[in-house]
Amino acid sequence: MTNSQPFYITTPIYYVNDVPHIGHAYTTIAADVLARYWRLRGRDVFFLTGLDEHGQKVQQAAAKAGVAPQTYCDNLAPKFTELWKRLDIRPDAFIRTTDREHGRIVQRYLQELFDTGLIYKDSYTGWYCTFDERFWTEKDVTDGLCPDCKRPVEQLSESNYFFRMGQYQDRLIDHIKIHPRFIRPESRRNEVLGFLQSQKLGDLSISRPKARLSWGIELPFDKDYVTYVWFDALVNYISALEYKPPSPSVDTFWPANVHLVGKDILTTHAVYWSTMLMALHRPLPETIFAHGWWTVNGEKMSKSRGNVVDPNKMLEVYGVDAFRYFLLREVPFGQDGDFSEQAMARRINSDLANGIGNLLSRTLTMIERSCSGTIPDMPRDYLDGEDARRKFPLLVQAKESLKTLGNHLDEMFDGFEFSSFLLLVTSRVSDVDTFIDKYEPWKLAKDPSRREELDTVLYSAAECLRILSLYILPVMPATAHGIAEQLGLHINWDSPFLKESVKWGELKSGTKIRKGNALFPRVLVTESGEYDLASGKAELSKLQGAKPVSDSPIPSRPTVAPSAAASPASAPPTGPPAAPLQITIDEFMKVQLKTARVLSAERVPKSEKLLKLQVSLGSEQRQIVAGIGKKYEPESLIGKTIVIVANLKPAKLMGLESQGMVLAAGDSDVRGLVTFVEEVDPGTKVK
């Protein structure tokens, strides 16, 4: 599966009228993921992003700030470049439309089109929206408002230069029909086709009189005008290849493979840019992909609503990789999505902290305990044989599913299927958890005659983690590095290691592991409804002093009979057995039973019976000390969903606080834990 084709991907260039928000981060992260992926596959990649610095919006923002437009742009540009660094976004070039070279190239193109009669001067009367910097026709405007931003429009009459866009209408329709990958997703392609087939395409105003807007690129054939913002901005996709190192690279990288854009600017790309390219005799990009928009807690994100999500804050509180993961996992690329910290907390806990993070930590703990901290031995082709199929069917299946995922990576990245890809990654993680639970390495470790089986299970778990780390690198670079480092590996991350299929068995036995911190701290909900990291590392001042949420009033004694309890030992019964105490439904309803997922478990020193569990209730984490240690090895419980009494008054057992009680069958001897046939989310009420 080698691929030597160059790959050129772009993001929109962002207006510098304000600091970057989650929408900007979204497209740029997605572009970074694709750039990283194809680079790892051995393609020559060029990833371009940058800033759209001309136009009315920037001029107005600068005037408001009382500085010259260039100073304003220079002050804001680092907000973008620094954010990209913090988000682990690594573009090959960063273009600013105020770059002198860009201006000259725009002028060259304008002159070319003017000389061939494709740009002409005309006078025009129409409804002008200052905010969107564009004219609307009579039929577009209702009640004097811009159809796009709903702000008042004004009637303006002025002479301007026009690009003969309309004459390319049929050619564009044909192009879209012949090239199914040109506009994606399919629904957007149909929208553009529908629009082009139902109305006559007009010509495009590409200039503005300097008297009204001076902050632009001067027309080379008329000093009284500057170019219209879209002409200037769209040209960036080619101009960058002419002067950004390694320049000139137009021949290598044009036409672009992917222009990633938001759905609101699809027309400008699919229609304006495509027809401009036709006029300039340049091939059209292979794909323009329009992604959806994020709302925030169900509302449109806007400054006036005060709900603009600052990516800087998100990465400070939740971490870069968790933020990158959430944006790409939560919503299929192309669809709209809703952003909330609650949803992000849920995803981080379920998929990352309890998923791959927990798998790494439990695997390495077992390797530390049972294999003196080195990767055990296992014959490379053992899993291909009959013996393995018979003894370890789940393990063989996990290995094969991982290979299938590897075989489908190209297809998924080519299809922008980030969300499905990440879902498959979490499934492969749970395959490993499942075979660990099934083959119980903690039991194998107790029997020296089963050493080979133990090594097989632990080697395989570590090898699956190594392979997964390579697959997730484009989305979560720091996590991939973290996994490899804890596995004791030295990987050359710059080499195109996905060029060939990743081979099973490359993990060398005898490698000394380096178990480190949890990859993903769990997120806790605080009393004020904020989210905080379990590690307490949150830096935002408003989060300081937050405590894990505790549930409402707690009856002093449980009203269900606990059999395996973290409750203090009660006195043995004396006298004749009493009739069972009857309670009313209201009394019963006071007991809050909830599902909880066991995140970690360890023995309480000097106690045969007590285990200290950390459990997740979805949005919070608890410590429970439970008397189930005679029945269960701690490792066997990790990942299990159990039932706890969630509103039991905290008690201390051997000096350790227990914030709840585990339900189990049995009397003084525990016979079995209450658990579920189906997968149930942690924190679900049990009645």
Which residues of this protein are in contact with ligand MSP, per CB under 6 A?
A: 12-15, 23-24, 26-27, 52, 233-234, 236, 261-262, 264-265, 293-294, 301
Q: Please, what is the minimum distance in Å from the beta carbon of residue 266 to ligand MSP?
A: 9
Closest approach of ligand MSP to the CB of residue 146, in Å: 15
Instruction: Please state the closest distance from residue 142 (CB atom) to ligand MSP, in A.
Output: 23
User: Of the two residues 119 and 234, which places its CB atom closer to ligand MSP in the complex?
Assistant: 234
For residue 332, cis peptide bond before it (omega within 30 degrees of 0): no
Q: How far is the CB of 52 from ligand MSP (least distance, A)?
A: 3
Q: Is 145 helix (H, G, I), strand (E, B) or coil?
A: strand
What tokens were used for 353? 């902290």
Place of tokens 């339900």: 663
Helix orientation angle between 320-330 and 477-486, rounded to the nearest 10 degrees: 120
What is the closest distance, in whole angstroms, from the C-beta atom of residue 305 to ligand MSP in the complex? 12
Q: Which is nearer to ligand MSP, 172 or 445 (CB)?
A: 172
Give the residue with the Cβ less far from ligand MSP, 13 or 213.
13
Q: What minimum distance in Å lies between the beta carbon of 274 and ligand MSP?
A: 13
Q: At 501, which amino acid appears?
A: S
- Counting Cβ atoms within 10 Å, is residue 318 exposed (0-12), middle (13-18) or buried (19+)? buried
Minimum distance of ligand MSP from residue 213's CB (angstroms): 15
- Residues 684 and 595: their CA atoms lie apart, in Å, by 5
Q: Are 630 and 609 in contact (CB under 8 A)?
A: yes
Using an 8 Å Cβ cutoff, are 562 and 673 in contact?
Answer: no
Question: Within 10 A of 78 (CB to CB), how many other CB atoms are there?
Answer: 10
Least spacing, CB of residue 371 vs ligand MSP, in Å: 47
| Least distance between ligand MSP and beta carbon 150 (Å) | 16
Cβ nearer to ligand MSP, comparing 255 with 262: 262
Cβ within 8 Å of residue 84, ≥6 positions away? 28, 49, 90, 91, 94
For ligand MSP, the closer CB: 12 or 91: 12
Q: Which CB sits closer to ligand MSP, 243 or 497?
A: 243
Contact between residue 487 and residue 466 where contact means Cβ atoms under 8 Å apart:
yes
**Identity of the residue, 236 or 479, whose beta carbon is nearer to ligand MSP in the bound complex:** 236
What is the spatial distance between Cα 127 and Cα 205, in angstroms, rounded to a whole number?
A: 13
Which is closer to ligand MSP, CB of 79 or CB of 499? Answer: 79
- Would you call 608 exposed, middle or buried from its count of C-beta atoms within 10 A (0-12, 13-18, 19+)? exposed
List Cβ neighbours of 328 (8 Å cut-off, separation of 6 or more): 29, 30, 33, 418, 419, 422, 475
Chain position whose Cβ is nearest to ligand MSP: 262
Secondary structure (3-state) at 7: strand
In the bound state with ligand MSP, the residue whose beta carbon lies nearer, of 236 and 647, is 236
